[in-house]
Amino acid sequence: MSISTDLSGRVAIVTGSATGLGASIAKRLAEAGANVVINYSRSSTEAEATADECRAFGVEVHCVQADVSEDADCRKLAQVASQYGRLDILVNNAGITKQVPNHADLAGLDKDDFLRLYSVNVVGPFMMVRAAEDLLRAAHEKTGIASAVLNTSSIAGVTGIGSSVAYAASKGAFNTMTLSLARALAPAIRVNAICPGFIGTRWFKDYMGEEKYNRMEASVRAATPLQHACDADDIADSAMFFLTDASRHVTGETLLTDAGTHLGFAPLKAR
C-alpha cells in the first residue's frame, strides 16, 4: 500500500519558525499542502519572508508573534488555528540557550539561566500541547488519523554535550516529557522528538563569525561517521517523516538526527 505524504487541507503550527530549522519545516509543510501558522518572538521581518515563501505553495499562512514561555501566548497561537476547527500538526521548535561550552565553569550559570531555559525549552512546549489539545483531538476525530506533535530536542539531551549544562538538562527533560505525553495522549495524538546535533544556520554564523564557523563546520564534518555537517533542510527532511502518515504507527520515539555524532568516532577509511 502506498502511504500518502500529501498534507493538503491539514493545519500546522510551527513555533520558532521565522528562521533556521523552524522556517525549513514550515516551508516543507506548506509544500506538502498544509496551512501553516508561523510563530516568531522578535524576528518579524524574517517571519513575514518565510510566510511569503510558504504562500507561494498556494496554502493559507498566518504569522503570529508569541513567546511560548507565556501561557496566554500559547493560547493565542492555538486560537489562530481554531478558525479551521482542527489542528493536525504541532511542531514545538522554539528554543533558547546560554553559551557556557565549558561545562566545568559552574559559575557561568545561575538560577535565572536555568529557569529561563526551562521556561522556553520545556514548559513552553508543554503549554503549547495543553493549549492545542482539543484542536489536535478534533483533527483525529474528523480524519481518523492521529494528530502529530513533533518536539525539536537535541543530541545534548541524550549525551549531555552542548552549549551549556543548563541547555543539555533542559533538552533531557524535553525528551522525557515526549515519552510522558506520548503515553498520555494516545491514540488520538502522536508525540515524537528529533534530536539534531550541529545545524549550520545563520544563528551559528552570526554568533561565531564566518571564519570560526567555517572551522567548526569542517571539524564537525571530519568527526562524524557520515562526514556531513547537517543544515536545516537535512533536519527538516527527518521532521517530515514524523509529520506525515508515513509515521502513522510511531509515537514516543526520540530520533537522533546528527550524522552519527553520538557514535563518537569517524569511520575507518577503506584501504
Amino acid 215: pLDDT: 74
> What single DSSP character describes residue 265?
S
pLDDT tens digits, 190-244: 999 999 976 667 666 666 677 776 676 676 666 777 776 667 888 899 999 999 9
pLDDT tens digits, 15-50: 999 999 999 999 999 999 999 999 999 989 999 999
CA torsion 98-37-85-125 (nearest 10°) is -10
Tell whether the model's pLDDT for residue 14 goes beyond 50: yes
Give the three-class secondary structure for 3.
Answer: coil
Instruction: Write b or e for each residue in 7-20: b if 16 or more Cβ atoms lie within 10 A of its Cβ, otherwise e.
Output: beebbbbbbbbbbb
Amino acid 269: pLDDT: 47
pLDDT tens digits, 138-151: 999 999 999 999 99
Amino acid 152: pLDDT: 97
pLDDT tens digits, 151-164: 999 999 999 988 99
Residues with catalytic roles:
167
CATH superfamily of 11-200+232-253: NAD(P)-binding Rossmann-like Domain (3.40.50.720)
pLDDT tens digits, 77-123: 999 999 999 999 999 999 999 999 999 999 999 999 999 999 999 99
In the chain, DSSP assigns E strands to 11-14, 35-40, 61-65, 89-92, 147-152, 189-196, 254-257
- Does residue 177 contact residue 219 with C-beta atoms inside 8 Å? no
**Domain range annotation of the chain:** 11-200+232-253
